[in-house]
Amino acid sequence: MDINDILSVASRFVISGKPERVERYGSGHINDTYAVTTPRRRYILQRLNTSIFTEPEKLMENMLLVTDWLRERIAARGGDPFRETLTPILTPDGESSVRSEDGSFWRMTAFIEDSFSFDRADDPSVLREAGRGFGRFMRELRDFPAERLHETIPNFHNTPLRLDALRKSVEEDAFGRLDSAKAEAEGYLSRAEAYSKRYEQAVRELPLRVTHNDTKINNILFDSNTHRALAVVDLDTVMPGLSAFDFGDAIRTGAATADEDTRHPETMGASVELFSAYARGYFDGAGHISEGERDALVFGAKLMTYECGARFLTDWLCGDTYFKTSRPMHNLERARAQLALLEDMERRGDELEHAIIEAEKETKL
Ligand code: ADP
Ligand code: GN1
Ligand code: MG
């Protein structure tokens, strides 16, 4: 589709002014995201990846329910409901999406101006804010009727099933890539039993909440003026889940010493300082969590790193069909970086557990 086609998709939504400019936006791995500008405003227009989100209409139902719910909570605490959550833009018929001629599925949200996001931080005060923002997101959805949510990707954080997929891709080696990934396959599969066991225990014992499930650090926006956490975006995977998943996925990207995309796994590790900062903000934002949930937070960070790395490796072995890539070995390099991060988290396990205890103490003071 060329720019004019995208502009004509944009004009099918009820927007203020004629869409004049369109540019690629953000660094998400799944959807195609564009910023659309009219003489008056900007909008985010997204083509959903419908090979991954196979029932996009249901996903949009979730998004409308969740943003309506959050808007009320935000207004009730005196916040700005049009800046602190996504505002879906509808069509003249009240639909939340349109299909273009080629069958692709589009949705639009108001652009949240004067905000920024980042792929990795090195400033503890920003990480603390991220923790507060994602923690508050979970707290504000605490009483949300979870049964009204569709499961947009079934078994999204079912780590044992993700490992089955990895095992299968190793056995089949359909693209002849296993030779390039022997050490990584061994690194991931040798941990499968231990992590699956601990995962099953967590799922058995911990409360199911409504969680975001993709708390990558670039899925939270910060206010450019105050640098406070502003809005949690990318609501496509809001589904029932464990608090440890959301805590862990944010740590995986936010408290790492290198980018997820680094080609230098030797520079990848966990920053205890950033981890502590995130944990402090998180306890503050999330409010009460159970002892069991608290005790699973460090495990959540390891699990999400492990699971995501295993998914990158699977995608590498299956010919790069899931995550967007921009270089030939991208997914293999991502899998290497996540393995390096996991090894470092395992080495520093005690330090991380200690940081949780200290952060919790501080919130209780
Ligand atoms: P993906 O599912 O591909 O990750 P996202 O929904 O996360 O796509 O969007 C990609 C990026 O665009 C986000 O990381 C965020 O930085 C930015 N973004 C998304 N929605 C908005 C919005 N309404 N206003 C401002 N920035 C946004
Ligand atoms: C994807 O959509 P994005 O880029 O925020 C993926 C996450 C992975 C992440 C790894 C729906 O997130 O699960 O952790 O890439 N989202 C989906 O960078 O699969
Ligand atoms: Mg995203």
The pLDDT tens digits of the residues spanning 114-153 come to 999 988 888 999 999 999 999 999 999 999 999 999 999 9
Q: Within 10 A of 300 (CB to CB), how many other CB atoms are there?
A: 24
pTM recorded for the entire structure: 0.96
Q: Are 211 and 241 in contact (CB under 8 A)?
A: yes
**How far, in Å, CA of 24 to CA of 33, rounded?**
6
pLDDT at residue 364 above 80?
no
Which atom in ligand 1 lies closest to the alpha carbon of residue 25? 12
**How far, in Å, CA of 3 to CA of 19, rounded?**
11
> pLDDT tens digits for 8-41?
999 999 999 999 999 999 888 999 999 999 999 9
Closest ligand to 33 CA? Answer: 1
**How far, in Å, CA of 258 to CA of 255, rounded?**
9
Q: Whose CA is nearest to atom 17 of ligand 1?
A: 26
Q: Which domains does the chain have, with CATH numbers?
A: 3-113 (3.30.200.20), 124-364 (3.90.1200.10)
Q: Which two tokens stand for residue 316?
A: 């590498």
Largest CA distance in the chain: 59
Q: Burial letters for 249-285: b for 16+ Cβ neighbours within 10 Å, e otherwise?
A: bbbbbbbbbbebebeebeebbbbeebbbbbbbbbbbb
Q: What are residue 47's DSSP bridge partners?
A: 32, 106
**How far, in Å, CA of 200 to CA of 159, rounded?**
9
Q: What are residue 254's DSSP bridge partners?
A: none
> pLDDT tens digits for 207-236?
999 999 999 999 999 999 999 999 999 999
- Asked whether 62 lines ligand 1 (CB < 6 A), one says no
User: pLDDT tier at 202 (50, 70, 90 boundaries)?
Assistant: very high
- Asked whether 232 lines ligand 2 (CB < 6 A), one says no
Helix (H, G, I), strand (E, B), or coil: what is residue 177?
coil
- Of 153, 223, 234, 249, the one to substitute when testing ligand 1's pocket (max ligand atoms within 8 A of C-beta) is 234
**How far, in Å, CA of 165 to CA of 155, rounded?**
12
34, 110, 261, 269 from 27: Cα distances, Å:
11, 18, 11, 22
